[in-house]
């Protein structure tokens, strides 16, 4: 299905500012039922986008096609899966590369700071515009998992299930200064107003190579590409493809959103059943988080289940080792 876009109007942000004429891009697979009650919201990671749910998509953080499709864990014969592009990101929704309606120029560094609640509020507005009044589940990994947890707090009656993968209740590990400093070393950076020179591709490529390796891509490729030279060539190619399409400013916008994430004080608001999934080898969201998170959720009265993935594939284990938890996810949703 082709990328769709919906205009949701002006969005009042948590900061008090208004983001004007907001557009949300999204992909969907499966058909909405006549009562529009079979929708599953799937939320993408930090630098991926809605194509993560498509059979033709090749997001560098991991495709969800092993989990989403006919007869799979998120069965598209039964559910309509909707994956919106987060505001502040790159792939079609209003973000720093969008044109500011006030002056017709890209927002660039003037794009307003967002919170996780702003992102979720924009998605809620999209679903209401699509006449969806209830979700079967909200599912997400990494940045998407943080969004899923915020959904359970912001709109606790709107979904029956929440699946939070590679995520935390409190602020995740972020390195805003490191990313800003890397971008600022590019001669075209111009304090984030670089659009007349194109994107910062040659700066983004080595940054992306480092990201991919930290996500565990070397373990993912090792079986088919035992030669490290060949592996590095594939990683470099994927990094360059991504750099051609991802707006550098969005790296900072999304990282700042993650820096605002903390649902730990509002857990008693959760009404949905929760499935919490971590990977044994994830360097960002270690399974050492589980004991405290589960204790706090249960103390708040949340019906929570937990799965630790015994995978060598780190941060991307949930998608690249999908078979490890496919049965659990399928049964949880049903």
**Alpha-carbon distances, residue 241 vs 164, 179, 212 (angstroms):** 28, 19, 13
Closest CA to 309 of 329, 332, 333, 331: 329
Q: Measure the CA–CA gap between 3 and 91, rounded to whole angstroms.
A: 9
Rounded to 10°, the helix 143-154/248-259 angle is 50
Does 261 qualify as catalytic in the annotation? no
Q: Which structure tokens are listed for 138?
A: 């909200």
Q: Measure the CA–CA gap between 29 and 270, rounded to whole angstroms.
A: 28
Q: Measure the CA–CA gap between 122 and 101, rounded to whole angstroms.
A: 18
Q: Choose the catalytic residue: 142, 154, 279, 311.
A: 142
Backbone angles phi, psi at 308, to 5 degrees: -105, 125
Does 10 qualify as catalytic in the annotation? no
Q: Choose the catalytic residue: 51, 118, 247, 282.
A: 282
Q: Which residue has the tokens 């991802």?
A: 246
Closest CA to 256 of 130, 88, 123: 88
Q: Measure the CA–CA gap between 205 and 24, rounded to whole angstroms.
A: 27
Instruction: Give residues with Cβ within 8 angstroms of 51, minimum separation 6.
Output: 27, 57, 58, 59, 91
Does 142 qualify as catalytic in the annotation? yes
* End-to-end Cα, the chain, rounded Å: 25
3-state secondary structure of 63: coil
Q: Choose the catalytic residue: 44, 219, 261, 315.
A: 315
Beta partners for residue 27, in sequence order? 83
Residues with a catalytic annotation lie at: 142, 282, 315
């Amino acid at each position: 299905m082709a990328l769709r876009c919906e205009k949701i109007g002006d969005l009042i942000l948590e900061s008090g500012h208004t983001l004007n004429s907001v557009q949300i891009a999204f992909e969907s697979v499966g058909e909405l039922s006549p009562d529009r009650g079979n929708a599953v919201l799937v939320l993408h990671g930090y630098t991926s986008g809605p194509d993560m749910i498509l059979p033709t998509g090749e997001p560098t953080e991991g495709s969800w096609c092993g989990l989403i499709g006919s007869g799979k864990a998120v069965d598209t014969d039964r559910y309509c899966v909707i994956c919106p592009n987060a505001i502040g990101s790159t792939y079609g929704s209003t973000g720093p590369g969008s044109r500011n309606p006030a002056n017709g120029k890209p927002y660039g560094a003037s794009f307003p700071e967002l919170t996780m609640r702003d992102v979720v509020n924009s998605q809620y507005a999209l679903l209401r515009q699509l006449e969806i009044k209830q979700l079967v589940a909200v599912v997400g990994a990494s940045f998407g998992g943080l969004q899923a947890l915020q959904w359970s707090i912001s709109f606790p009656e709107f979904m029956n299930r929440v699946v939070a993968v590679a995520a935390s209740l409190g602020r995740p590990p972020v390195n805003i200064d490191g990313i800003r400093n890397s971008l600022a070393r590019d001669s075209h950076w111009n304090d984030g107003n670089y659009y007349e020179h194109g994107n910062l591709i040659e700066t983004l490529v080595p940054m992306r190579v480092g990201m991919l390796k930290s996500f565990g891509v070397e373990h993912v490729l090792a079986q088919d590409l035992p030669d490290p030279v060949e592996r590095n060539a594939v990683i470099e190619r994927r990094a360059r493809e991504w750099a051609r399409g991802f707006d550098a400013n969005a790296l900072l916008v999304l990282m700042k959103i993650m820096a605002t994430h903390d649902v730990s004080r509002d857990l008693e608001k959760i009404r949905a059943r929760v499935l919490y999934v971590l990977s044994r080898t994830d360097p960002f969201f270690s399974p050492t988080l589980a004991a405290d998170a589960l204790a706090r959720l249960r103390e708040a009265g949340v019906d929570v289940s937990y799965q630790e993935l015994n995978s060598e594939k780190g941060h991307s284990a949930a998608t690249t080792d999908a078979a490890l938890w496919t049965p659990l996810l399928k049964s949880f949703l049903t």
